[in-house]
Amino acid sequence: MLIINADIITMDGDIRYKNGYIHIKNGKIFDIGPMQQVPNLQGEEVMDANGAVAIPGLIDAHCHLGIFGDSLGAQGDDANEESSPCTPHIRAIDGINPMDGYFKEAVAAGITTVVTGPGSANVIGGQMAAIKTYGIRIDNMIVKAPCAIKCSFGENPKTVYKAKDEAPTTRMAAAAMLRSALLEAKIYGKKKQEQAEDFCEDLKNEALLMVLNREIPIHAHAHRSDDIFTATRIAKEFGIDLKIIHCSEGHLIAHELAKENIEVMVGPYLTDRSKPELKNLSLETAAAMEKAGIKTALVTDHPETPINYLLLCAQMAVKNGMSPKAALCSITFNAARIAGIGNTVGKLSKGYDADIVIFNKNPLDFDSKVLYTFINGAKVHKTEGQ
């Protein structure tokens, strides 16, 4: 397929083709460039964008799409296995329902990839997955799984387990539980390597070995600054890769985060201050991260903010001080890099997945509209009237 006459914002550095083409082959971007260099292809489907704006498919680097079921209540809630505070062996791909109604809304909003998985009830919630938003079988939608282990700091674990009269009921206990689990996995890994006689394979420890071996990072749910620093402290102790999710007080500690070279996923933006740790929630956090030189993704935390409002979150970030370039990058290439999938999605470049969204105008304009969404080169959404 050949898309022609598009205003292409590649998100590949500063490369932009005001009037360009994209050649799609076998679900990948085979070629891309200015219209002066468009190839003469016989028998290919050609779509004339007529000057519309083409960008990479949008990416939500943290949400719970397909795990919290749309309109299903408790019967559709598979986000938190509250039978134990430490469940690293639980896999998002075993709980995602691709038939959930919000997948269709995500595609219509130009969102082509998400990182989804367990909620934040547990100290260790389980394994996150990066998936495409179009398909009927999760096995065929996976970009990377697992792509992270979800851990939670702050109010959520202590609130859930205090109600059960079980540990952890304090932040100290939650941190100690995480340390204990990582230490146990470290001992387990040594026994496995040495082929010790008493070695017995264990799913929980196998999952945490991926973290200890830096194959995947920890995605740490942390709103308050002290929780962010506790997560940082533990990551340093065990030499593991850490990404901060939410980072609601990030604007208050931006200089410290910059020192640690920590990558963050800011959001949800469009939500109320529903609990004490959200007291300092601010729409200016993303701008503060950019100013401090911190690599940032904007996220919805769906369903906290519905998935289809991801672009609105970026528009609000611009309104509150973030540069347009950084805001668009935060839901495309930076989101992909932070999620560990920046080698296949997040920009329009040769060899990348042909995940493309075509807008009627600059996507950061409030009244912009998605005209077409392509995932792996297939046209999966077309706005009525196009």
Please list the residues that pair with 124 across neighbouring strands: 86, 151
Task: Evaluate if residue 73 carries a pLDDT over 80.
Answer: no
- φ, ψ dihedrals at 212, nearest 5°: -65, -30
Please list the residues that pair with 32 across neighbouring strands: 22
Separation of alpha carbons 206 and 204, rounded Å: 5
DSSP letters spanning 122-144? SSEEEEEEEEES--S-GGGTEEE
Express as a percent the part of the chain with pLDDT over 70. 100
What's the chain's average pLDDT? 96
Domain boundaries, the chain: 1-56+347-386, 58-345
**Best CATH choice for the domain 58-345 from the list 3.30.497.10, 3.20.20.140, 3.40.1350.10, 3.30.420.130:** 3.20.20.140
- Asked whether the bond before 34 is cis by omega within 30 degrees of 0, the reply is no
- φ, ψ dihedrals at 120, nearest 5°: -115, 25
Position 259 scores a pLDDT of 96
Separation of alpha carbons 301 and 150, rounded Å: 13
Compute CA 318 distance to the chain's CA centroid, rounded to the nearest angstrom. 20
Express as a percent the part of the chain with pLDDT over 90. 94
Position 328 scores a pLDDT of 98
User: pLDDT per residue over 195-213, tens digit each?
Assistant: 988 899 999 999 999 999 9
Query: Using CB atoms within 10 A of its CB, is residue 245 exposed (0-12), middle (13-18) or buried (19+)?
Result: buried
Question: Cα dihedral sign for 120, 314, 129, 134?
Answer: positive
The mean per-residue pLDDT over the stretch 206-234 comes to: 98
Indicate the DSSP class of residue 121: S
At 386, the pLDDT band (50, 70, 90 cuts) reads low
Reference 59, options 259, 239, 307; nearest CA is 307
Residues 1-56+347-386, CATH architecture: Roll (2.30)
The mean per-residue pLDDT over the stretch 64-85 comes to: 89
Coil/strand/helix, residue 81: coil
Please answer whether residues 221 and 248 qualify as being in contact, where contact means their C-beta atoms are separated by less than 8 angstroms.
no
